[in-house]
Structure 1
Amino acid sequence: MNGFRLSAGAIGVAAMLALTACGSGKSVDGGDETGADGVKHGPGVTDKAIGVGMITDLTGPYAPLGKSISQGAQLYFEQVNKDGGICGRTVEPQVRDMGYDAQKSVGAYTELEPKVAAFAHFIGSATVGAVQDRIAKSGPLTLVLAWSPQMLGSERIQMTGTTYAVDVINGVDYAVEKHGLKSGDKIGHIYVEGDYGVDSLAGSTYAARQHGMTVVEQKVKATDADMTSQVAAMKSEGVKAIVLSTSPKQTASAVGVAAAQGLKVPFLGSNSSFAPQLLDTPVGPALTANFVVMQAASPLSADLEAMKKLAADYTAKYPDATLDNGVMAGYTTAAITGDALKLACGKKDLTREGIIAAHRSQNAWDGGFGGTMDFTDVNQPPSRETHILQPDKASAGGLKIIQEASASENAQKYEIKIG
């Protein structure tokens, strides 16, 4: 998800709320108890229940995905509870909408932090960034749906898949192989300001340099809707491919404008750039013809039993909802959270430190969703592999695999810089 710089007012609110929380007398390091079953537990856990938080976007620019993410996670925990819960306790999901606003994220985190054992998801680099120091210092295990390298380095914060930059490197290497890009060519990159765009641009710049190519870059704001001038600039420069690290609506504009202007080049979209609803718009045919998505996670259409069951269960639970990548993302991060809780239960330690230690002990998590993730190194993403996906209206979630997950040589050797 893309981000934005906090205003002085937002920083002030964050600081004030942080001081309020610190002065509340609630300590994540103190107050641990041992239940009647001999299980130690900390904040968010009682003898009967485990609180799990979700901070999402239900009213902002990523609202469609945010809804799917939250519903996917709620489906997982509902199924867990039907099977008896975790450690003999009912899991109680608590969802808060922050509308992709940093100040609202601070408020949501401040409210939920004392009440939950973990955050099954927290959407957005900038929104997580508003409370990142607090999470890193004393917060619970937090699964973030943000792929900036700034999310690395803390045992308490866990991204899934890989960084924006690594996805883009794999995508550019795919374009070189499949579309014949060569030394001396130019590739375009339209990217939204903030961590999302900055790290994606780092990836395209690195990959282009490895192939003797150059990048024509165009930065846009999250609120920009019309990509006409950006596409015109790309056309005038004679680019051979265009990377899009944008919102879905911006992607639709860029691909649609290019089709109208007769610019027939491949488009490579970062993992937050697409929503299947776009296939029902006039730009749908152009997306199907010239656009691919670079994404670490398997799509809903993957030939995996776990994915087929998820699609069927979600459709049964939410018959009027759209199947999209948010469903898979929410369910998967919930499953990662659930597995950490189960492992911690096995150690009879549902304190925050116990849950985090259990989670970080896993070096090959799969969950049946394809591709393994290593959670043991806090300074590295859990994977460097990327799927190449093509929009397809007939496929579950609107995407089909055209290249299975893999990590190019350039992606493997790319040095990820934290901070």
Structure 2
Amino acid sequence: MKRVLIPALLAVASAAAGAQAQGVSKTEIVVGTIQDLSGPLAGYGKQARNGMQLRVDELNEQGGIHGRRMVLKVEDSGYDPRKAVLAAQKLVNQDKIFIMAGHIGTAHNLAAMPIQFEKNVINFMPLTAAREMYEPFHKLKYSFAVPYYEQVRVMLPRLAKEKGSKKVCVHYQDDDFGQEILKGTEAATKAMGVEIAEKTSFKRGATEFSSQVAKLKAANCDMVVMGTLIRETIGTIGESRKTGFNPTFLGTSGAYTDLIPRLGGKAMDGFYAAMTTQHPYLDEASQPIRFWANKYKTKFNEDPTVFSAYGYIIIDALVRAAEKAGPNLNTESFGKAMDGMNYPADIFGSAPSSFTATKRLGSNASRLSQLQEGRWKVVADYGK
């Protein structure tokens, strides 16, 4: 009799453990995200939130994951790491989320992750391309964004050679985000056998860049690597154009957004940015993107952007892994599903990606786009 009961009891205990996983009930999977909805990256945050919500709604209309609907809990950090900590505490301890997905900001993720990890909550595909999102290794880290460091390390020598640049400079936000771009610039220039001609920095939230531009101009920089996001990119390039300073400006995926030409105007033409996922220009998009964009616009009354696509992609990746994990969804079963996860190239042009028990960055491949006549155009594709 005992030989029959013991395996049965173990099976019941295992099922109970799965049912008791934080954020997973018989009917729901609770997912959290922290976005900037009121600060300098509110444009990014609102678009990412909308893209995430669209995929969640699609999933729930289709019956959910193994009978469970997904619930998305959103908190606003205002792009302030201190507020990100408070947001993480609420999501983890009060809302009891199962997983944190698509949290925006480098310093913000670094501040929030200890709170999550203490409660065994995964940090899934954050909206930052810092290497700390997958290094050092942690079983609860999964990153999809090609590191800023790698974007600059690979693209800077290629573009400098093409342009015949002799004096490379760097202009960066003085925080974890900017430091990654500074380090990438240092690695690239070392490989090129040149010194960085000038380094200028600014505090997070800065709006005035005249002194930094004056220094870059005085150093005769002919290429400036930009550790900037939205308004810092616009402010720096705008100030440079006004003073007759026109080097080649190279940014990262952090500045790859339609908001740059929309808010900065014609002066932004010529700006380069490393990127992966492409902004969906609907008049030249494929039929699958137009279909997706129509659903997005019907729901949110605005056209989608690249950050809308990021949000959608992140939740879609989460859904695929949760489905693979099976009915007994918990942190361990989700991790096992991710250990052999392969994601194909998507409709937005993102490169294929894969994860293993030791590989927590999906892909290291980036490409290069340039603003031409107010639109991003891919000028160097993957591996070229």
Normalised by the length of structure 1, the TM-score is 0.80
1:404 aligns with 2:381: yes
Q: Following superposition of structure 1 onto structure 2, how do residues 256-335 of structure 1 map, counting pairs within 5 Å?
A: 256-281=238-263, 283-288=264-269, 290-301=270-281, 306-319=288-301, 321=302, 323-335=304-316
Change (3 A) 1:377 1:34: closer
* C-alpha contact 1:295 1:386 (8 A) present in aligned 2: yes
* C-alpha contact 1:136 1:154 (8 A) present in aligned 2: no
Give the aligned residue type for 1:202.
Answer: K
Pick one of 349, 354, 362 that aligns with 1:382: 362
1:373 aligns with 2:353: yes
Structure-1 separation of matches of 2:158 and 2:291: 30
Structure-2 separation of matches of 1:47 and 1:205: 51
Change (3 A) 1:229 1:191: same
Pick one of 29, 33, 57 that aligns with 1:54: 33
Change (3 A) 1:191 1:391: same
SS of corresponding position for 1:268: strand
Pick one of 338, 363, 369 that aligns with 1:359: 338
* C-alpha contact 1:56 1:66 (8 A) present in aligned 2: yes
* C-alpha contact 1:161 1:297 (8 A) present in aligned 2: no
Pick one of 169, 174, 181 that aligns with 1:193: 174
What is residue 206 of structure 1 aligned with on the other side?
187
Q: Residues 203-227 of structure 1, C-alpha deviation per residue, up to 9 Å, x if partnerless?
A: 1111112112222211111122122
SS of corresponding position for 2:226: strand
What is residue 118 of structure 1 aligned with on the other side?
99
Q: Following superposition of structure 1 onto structure 2, how do residues 152-167 of structure 1 map, counting pairs within 5 Å?
A: 152=134, 153-167=137-151
SS of corresponding position for 2:78: coil
Change (3 A) 1:401 1:351: same
* C-alpha contact 1:161 1:385 (8 A) present in aligned 2: no
Q: Following superposition of structure 1 onto structure 2, how do residues 135-154 of structure 1 map, counting pairs within 5 Å?
A: 135-143=116-124, 144-152=126-134, 153-154=137-138
Q: Residues 202-255 of structure 1, C-alpha deviation per residue, up to 9 Å, x if partnerless?
A: 111111121122222111111221221212211111112111111211111111
What is residue 106 of structure 1 aligned with on the other side?
85
What's the offset of the Cα at 1:377?
5.7
SS of corresponding position for 2:381: strand
SS of corresponding position for 2:317: helix
Q: Tell me the matched-pair count.
A: 364
Q: Residues 9-61 of structure 1, C-alpha deviation per residue, up to 9 Å, x if partnerless?
A: xxxxxxxxxxxxxxxxxxxxxx98737xx975611111111111111110112
Give the aligned residue type for 1:316.
Answer: T
Structure-1 separation of matches of 2:161 and 2:120: 44
Change (3 A) 1:116 1:32: farther
Pick one of 45, 50, 61 that aligns with 1:71: 50
Among all aligned residue pairs of Structure 1 and Structure 2, give the percentage whose two residues are the same amino acid.
Answer: 23
* C-alpha contact 2:88 2:116 (8 A) present in aligned 1: no
| RCO comparison, higher one (Cα < 8 Å, 6+) | 1
Change (3 A) 1:364 1:78: closer
* C-alpha contact 2:342 2:354 (8 A) present in aligned 1: yes
SS of corresponding position for 1:262: coil
Q: Residues 76-124 of structure 1, C-alpha deviation per residue, up to 9 Å, x if partnerless?
A: 0101111111111111111111212223222222222252222222111
* C-alpha contact 1:299 1:400 (8 A) present in aligned 2: no
Unaligned 5+ residue runs, structure 2?
1-11
